[in-house]
Amino acid sequence: MISVENVSKSFTLHNQGSTVIPVMAGASLHVAAGECVALVGASGAGKSTLMRMIYGNYLTASGRIMVGDTDVASAAPREVIALRRRTLGYVSQFLRVVPRVPTIDVVAEPLLLTGTGADEARAQAATLLARLNIPERLWGLSPTTFSGGEQQRVNIARGFAFAYPALLLDEPTASLDPTNRATVLAMVQEAKARGAAIIGIFHDHAAREALCDRQVDVTGFTPGLAA
Amino acid sequence: MTPLLQVENLAKYYGARIGCTDVSFDLYPGEVMGIVGESGSGKSTLLNCLAGHLKPDHGAVRFATRSDGLRDTVTMSEPERRMLGRTDWAFVHQHARDGLRMNVSAGGNVGERLMAVNARHYGDIRDQAIDWLGRVEITQDRIDDRPTAFSGGMQQRLQIARNLVTGPRLVFMDEPTGGLDVSVQARLLDLLRGLVRDMGLSAIIVTHDLAVVRLLADRLMVMKDGHVVETGLTDQVLDDPQHGYTQLLVSSVLQV
């Protein structure tokens, strides 16, 4: 489902003496449907960089990144938009929303974008929020004022609202208490069971052990760090 | 899928000075494109050339008309272009008073655009005006008030209602949230996003506010000195800017 083939990337900082920082070379990785793969490596090794390259918000210098039938590395913006709408989901560590939009609508939006009716989308969003223990009295409020853990759970609810065949998870269990952590682990398991291909970054050891079929150490893709 | 708008090598000069030059892009149905850059970078010139308010010196702006497919709006006749401006196109000005008739009631402002496309039944026009004022959160009891009696944010929402009532397929927006305080901006952003999603509109939004484009636009075009220096997916351009000017622009934003 997700196939990264010999991918490289560098950053050029034009305003800081045109410094060129190579950050990735020769990265390859394959994830089949129903499989969960963890990206591991020390902080700064490029786990998030690789994940962003797959999602398309970082440009790829060379190589191919196939998600379904789309090569993210060479696709036009509208192809990437279509891919993100129906195929590729991403739970980032940060919640980015239009201020003043109620939480329930934030969570329902991916469903509305894929053609679910407004009532049905809200009902599904409500189910997810309840499952993640967001109190119902908060659903009508914007999540911008919520605590870190609550925002994280809203972000997860939004990321799991639509059943994407491919999912990227960046530290989904960070800043969660044990109960909610268990809920999120169960949700990832269910996504696997329905056949989603998942790539995740988990600093949470036990979560990684419980969910992932394999690990890929990105240190091997970092120029200058590879042994 | 065929593009809704196809722009090829567009250029506009003011004497020897460059307004904008070498602009080419395709816009597809349902896409929202942001144009960012500092003042004087040519973004408003470009928008006005696209919308037929300025005549470009060079290039083509082809629009997918309902009846005849792609037509170059630069070379079509003035009446045809005006007809597009009343039906399939909408233009939201930065200053609402440039896009409204200030001494006509709110309902009249919305109804006028309907009458321009041959709506004649008073009751229907008034019902549609009420419906649209409701969608932009202007209550029915204000329908007979003039825009001069409205706040800045309400004027802007009225301008949007007036523009969208005829069901346009392409909306040009020039700094639609500029000059509004932030809480009003947020409401307007939410409104615009909902309209784009529900009506399947395409839009081109000129702004210097990167937070606005991140939330509204699928794609981004960065302009400097009349040239397009970078284009791409919005979050890609903002998270991984390639051109030196874009890097400067992105790193200059104050964190709140």
List CB contacts of B97: < 8 A, sequence separation 6 or more.
Answer: B147, B155
The two three-digit tokens of residue B210, written as one number = 């990167």
Looking at the partner chain, which of A11, A77, A100 has a beta carbon nearest the beta carbon of B186? A100
What is the complex's ipTM, to 2 decimals?
A: 0.88
pLDDT at A50 over 70: yes
- Of the candidates B189, B197, B218, the beta carbon closest to that of A77 is on B218
- pLDDT at residue number B195: 81
Residue B54 pLDDT greater than 70, yes or no: yes
pLDDT in tens, B107-133: 999 999 899 888 889 999 999 999 989
Q: Cα(A69)–Cα(A67) distance, rounded to whole angstroms? A: 6
Tally Cβ neighbours within 10 Å of residue A151: 19
Average pLDDT of span B208-215: 86
- A80 SS3 class: helix
- How far is the C-alpha of B141 from the C-alpha of B171, rounded, in Å? 28
Mean pLDDT of B215-229: 94
Mutation choice for A interface testing from B190, B199, B214, B231 by most A CBs within 10 A: B190
CB–CB of A98 and B186 under 8 A? yes
In degrees rounded to 5, what are phi and psi of residue B54?
Answer: -125, 145
For domain B5-99+170-253, say whether CATH 3.40.50.620 is its number: no
Question: pLDDT-based confidence at B255, cuts 50/70/90?
Answer: low
Residue B10: which pLDDT band, with cuts at 50, 70 and 90?
very high
Residues B208-233, mean pLDDT to the nearest whole number: 92
pLDDT band at B200 (very low <50, low <70, confident <90, very high): confident
Summarised one tens digit per residue, pLDDT across range A151-201 is: 999 999 999 999 999 999 999 998 899 999 999 999 999 999 999 999 999
CATH superfamily of the A2-221 domain: P-loop containing nucleotide triphosphate hydrolases (3.40.50.300)
A203-A208-A213-A219 Cα dihedral, nearest 10 degrees: 20
Token output for B161: 């209602």
Give me the pLDDT at residue B256, please.
52
Mean pLDDT of chain B: 90
d(CA B35, CA B221) in angstroms, rounded, equals 5
User: pLDDT confidence of A227, banded at 50, 70, 90?
Assistant: very low
Contact across the interface for B218 and A14, Cβ inside 8 Å: no
